[in-house]
Chain A
Amino acid sequence: MSLTIRETLLAFRRAPLLSVLSMTTIAFALFVVGLFGLVALNLRTALADIEERVEVVAYLIRGTPVEISTMALGDIQAFPEVASVQYVSEDDALERARRQLVEFQGVFQDLETNPLPASLEIRLKPGFRDEDHVRQVADRLRGFRFVEDIRYGREWIAKLDRLRDIGAAVGLAIGIAFALASVIIIGTTIRMGVLHRSREIAIMRLVGATDGFIRRPFLLEGALKGAVGGAAAMGLNYAAYLAVDRTLFDSVFFSRAEAGLIVLFGTALGFLASAQSVRRHLARV
Chain B
Amino acid sequence: MIRFTNAFKAYPRGSLALKDASFHVGRGEFVFLTGHSGAGKSTVLKLIYAEEFPTSGEVRVAGVVTSELRRREVPRLRRRLGVVFQDFRLLEDRTAEENVAFALEVTGARRGTIAPKVMRVLAQVGLAAKAQAYPRELSGGEQQRVAIARALVNDPHVLLADEPTGNLDERAARGVVQLLRDINANGTAVVMATHNLELVRQAPYRVLELQDGAIVYDSAVDEVRSNVGGQRGGTVT
Contact = CB atoms under 8 A, between A and B. Distances in A.
Interface string B47-73: 001000000000000000000000110
B72 A204 contact: no
Contacts of A209: 75, 106-107
Interface string B86-97: 000101010000
A14 B93 CA distance: 9
A208 B103 CA distance: 8
B169 interface: no
B83 A206 contact: yes
B91 A208 contact: no
Nearest to B83: A206
A3 B89 contact: no
Contacts of B91: 199-200, 203
A199 B135 CA distance: 15
B76 interface: yes
A208 B79 CA distance: 5
A238 B72 CA distance: 46
Q: Is the interface of A mostly helix, strand, loop or mixed?
A: helix
B116 interface: no
A63 B78 CA distance: 97
A203 to B, nearest CB: 6
B23 interface: no
A208 to B, nearest CB: 4
B105 A208 contact: no
Given A203-B91, A206-B83, A213 B72 contact: no
A109 interface: no
A208 B154 contact: yes
A208 B89 contact: no
Contact of B71 (A14, A200, A206, A211): A211
Interface in B18-74: 49, 71-72
Contacts of B102: 203-204, 207
Interface of A: 3, 14, 199-200, 202-211, 213
Given A203-B102, A206-B78, 20 more contacts: A199-B91, A202-B89, A204-B102, A205-B78, A206-B49, A206-B83, A206-B89, A207-B79, A207-B102, A207-B107, A207-B154, A208-B76, A208-B77, A208-B106, A209-B75, A209-B107, A210-B72, A210-B75, A211-B71, A211-B72
18 contacts: A3-B105, A199-B91, A200-B91, A203-B89, A206-B78, A206-B83, A206-B89, A207-B106, A207-B107, A207-B154, A208-B76, A208-B78, A208-B79, A208-B103, A210-B72, A210-B75, A211-B72, A213-B108
Interface of B: 49, 71-72, 75-79, 83, 89, 91, 93, 102-103, 105-108, 150, 154
